Amino acid sequence: MRSKLARLLAAVSAAALIPCSALAQTAAPAKLDSGDTAWMLTATMLVLLMTIPGLALFYGGMVRAKNLLSVLMQCFAITALVTILWVVYGYSLAFDNTGMTAGTTNLHSFIGGLGHGMLAGLTPGSLYQTVPEAVFVMFQMTFAIITPALIVGAIAERMKFSSLLVFTALWFTLVYLPIAHMVWGGPGSFLGDLGVLDFAGGTVVHINAGIAGLVGCLVIGKRRGYPTTAMPPHNLGYTLVGASMLWLGWFGFNAGSAVAANGSAGMAMLVTQIATAAAAIGWTAIEWITHRRASVLGIASGAVAGLVAITPAAGTCGPGGALVLGFVAGVVCFFSATSLKRKFGYDDSLDVFGVHAIAGIVGALLTGPLAAPLLGGFGTVTDLGLQLWIQFKGVSFTVVYSAVLSYAIFKGIAVTMGLRVDEEQEQIGLDLALHEERGYNLS
């Protein structure tokens, strides 16, 4: 078993499916490629667009009119806050590879060092592979931004803004950075060494945030009146525009994760489009069959489920695999966001768990077998069962780690500064109660 793992790891590393550490690469002789750099500059902006305004509008349209600004504000503030934390210590803890050796598990398999705090040593001449390291710092920063922003959907319409900022800082530090390091830290990183395939962050971003969302909505409790009071989305036009921006921005997320303007980026772009379309159709079809209607919220949710599911697989699966992967994700997420939620009665307001965690898990698991050339993939996987098992281990570890740490953080804030606004503020709406502004000053 162990030797099989080692062989697989060697094969996987050879195929360079796991992005290697920036700091390891700066030591190696490398030459800047202007084509790669131009694409990575573009991809970085696309990923930033996913959070502001993509995700902000996607979520903003789904809440009630009195809470629109609160959601936009949360996404925007997280963007600014995480940027600062990323510069001060985030990049270092996620990508510093001091003391790491392939195949050896030590403290630095789980978290990087602080040697690159305040981006120490970064100059215009620093390179990561063939692009400026400054661009790589920015690119990875946009991933660190969107992950905590995703969680906002689970606790929407009832969380204090101050508590959200504290939560974001703690969760980014204690959950996002370690998981990112364990997957993307390079040789010697815990999940990377296991051979877990996660091309663009299905595990790091989506499962991680989705599980935190579920834990968050359980700790903070339901919105007052849920589920007996009607809480329909106030502007599905925003939601569809937001979903469209997510779709567009995701090309930066997935094709950008090749960190080069090459064939891998091109294929990642293609399979992303295919899986997203298949999931949108899958969700809509099953909705049409079970509810006898095709809804705007449904097709937008399906598209996002497809984007999430293809994320870990974008570097290894083929067009046929993307079709299957997307369709399965669309159908499964339809049930997790509708039936599952109602059965258990938790108020995951905007379905962060139902869409991101579930599609993330479906995607992470199927990434294994779909990487095999036997199933049209472009990976080096030959033992489908073994890779599925490795993927399962990666998913399980992330689920448990995120759940335990997220619970501790949410609970800690709940007993100290409190998570929720009071009843009156919730009734008035967070826009007026917390920000003293209205989203709509019509008439």
Partner 1 sequence: MKWINAIIKPFTLDDVREALAEAGVQGMTVTEVKGFGRQHGHTELYRGAEYVVDFLPKLKIEIAVTDEQLERAIEAISTAARTGKIGDGKIFVIDLEQAIRIRTQEVDADAL
Measured from the CB of residue 229, what is the shortest distance to partner 1 in angstroms?
9
CA 389 and chain centroid, separation:
22
Q: How far is the CB of 295 from partner 1 (least distance, A)?
A: 7
Stretch that binds partner 1, among 8-16, 193-201, 287-295, 390-398 (CB under 8 A): 287-295
Distance CA 69, CA 438 (A): 7
Provide, rounded to whole angstroms, the least separation between the CB of residue 354 and partner 1: 8
- What's the CA gap between 56 and 79, in Å, rounded? 11
227 contributes a contact to partner 1 by CB under 8 A: yes
Return d(Cα 346, Cα 221) in angstroms, integer. 8
Q: Which is nearer to partner 1, 350 or 362 (CB)?
A: 350
Q: Give the residue with the Cβ less far from partner 1, 36 or 348.
A: 348
Judged by CB under 8 A, the chain residues 138 through 197 that form the site for partner 1 are none
Interaction between residue 351 and partner 1 (CB under 8 A):
yes
Q: For residues 10 and 231, which CB has a smaller minimum distance to partner 1 in the complex?
A: 231
Residue 328 contacts residue 361 (beta carbons within 8 Å): no
Closest approach of partner 1 to the CB of residue 64, in Å: 12
CB of 235 to partner 1, least distance (A): 12
337 binds partner 1 (CB under 8 A): yes
Q: Which of 29, 42, 21, 31 is nearest to 265 (CA)?
A: 42
**Three-class DSSP category at 127:** strand
Helix, coil or strand: residue 18? coil
Which is nearer to partner 1, 271 or 299 (by Cβ)?
A: 299
Residue 7 or 342 having the CB closest to partner 1: 342
For the bound state, the minimum distance from the C-beta of residue 355 to partner 1, rounded and expressed in Å, comes to 9
Q: Tell me the window of 163-171, 243-251, 289-297, 381-389 that interacts with partner 1 (CB under 8 A).
A: 289-297
Instruction: Tell whether residue 352 is a contact of partner 1 (CB under 8 A).
Output: no
**Among positions 284, 338, 380, 387, the unique one binding partner 1 when judged by CB under 8 A:** 338
**What is 228-285 written as a DSSP string?**
TS----S-HHHHHHHHHHHHHHHHHHHHGGGSSSSHHHHHHHHHHHHHHHHHHHHHHH
How far is it, in rounded angstroms, from Cα 5 to Cα 91? 29
Quote the DSSP letter at residue 304.
H
Using the rule CB under 8 A, which residue among 116, 181, 341, 356 binds partner 1? 341
Minimum CB separation of residue 382 from partner 1 in Å reads 40
Asked if 345 interacts with partner 1 (CB under 8 A), we say: no
Whole-number Cα distances in Å, 436 to 87, 157, 233, 418, 428: 31, 15, 22, 20, 11
Part of the chain binding partner 1 (CB under 8 A), chosen from 115-123, 223-231, 261-269, 382-390: 223-231
Burial of 48 (0-12, 13-18, 19+ CB in 10 A): buried
Could you say whether residue 242 binds partner 1 (CB under 8 A)? no
By CB under 8 A, residue 235 contacts partner 1:
no
Query: Please, which residues bridge with residue 128 across strands?
Result: 131
d(CA 193, CA 198): 12
Least Cβ distance, residue 45 to partner 1 (angstroms): 31
CB 334 to partner 1: min, Å: 8
Tell whether residue 289 is a contact of partner 1 (CB under 8 A).
no
Query: Pattern 409-428, binding to partner 1, x per CB under 8 A?
Result: --------------------
Q: Does 230 sit near partner 1 (CB under 8 A)?
A: yes
103-109-110 Cα angle (round to 5): 150
Binds partner 1 (CB under 8 A): choice among 29, 232, 345, 385: 232
Nearest-angstrom CA–CA distance, 308 and 303: 9
Query: For residues 171 and 60, what is the distance between their CA atoms, to the nearest angstrom?
Result: 22
**Which SS3 state, helix, strand or coil, does residue 32 take?**
coil
Q: Which of 205, 243, 286 is nearest to 60 (CA)?
A: 243
Tell the smallest beta-carbon distance from residue 267 to partner 1 (Å).
Answer: 32
Positions in 290-309 near partner 1 (CB under 8 A)? 291, 293, 295, 297-298, 301
List of residues contacting partner 1 (CB under 8 A): 227, 230-233, 291, 293, 295, 297-298, 301, 337-339, 341-342, 351, 354
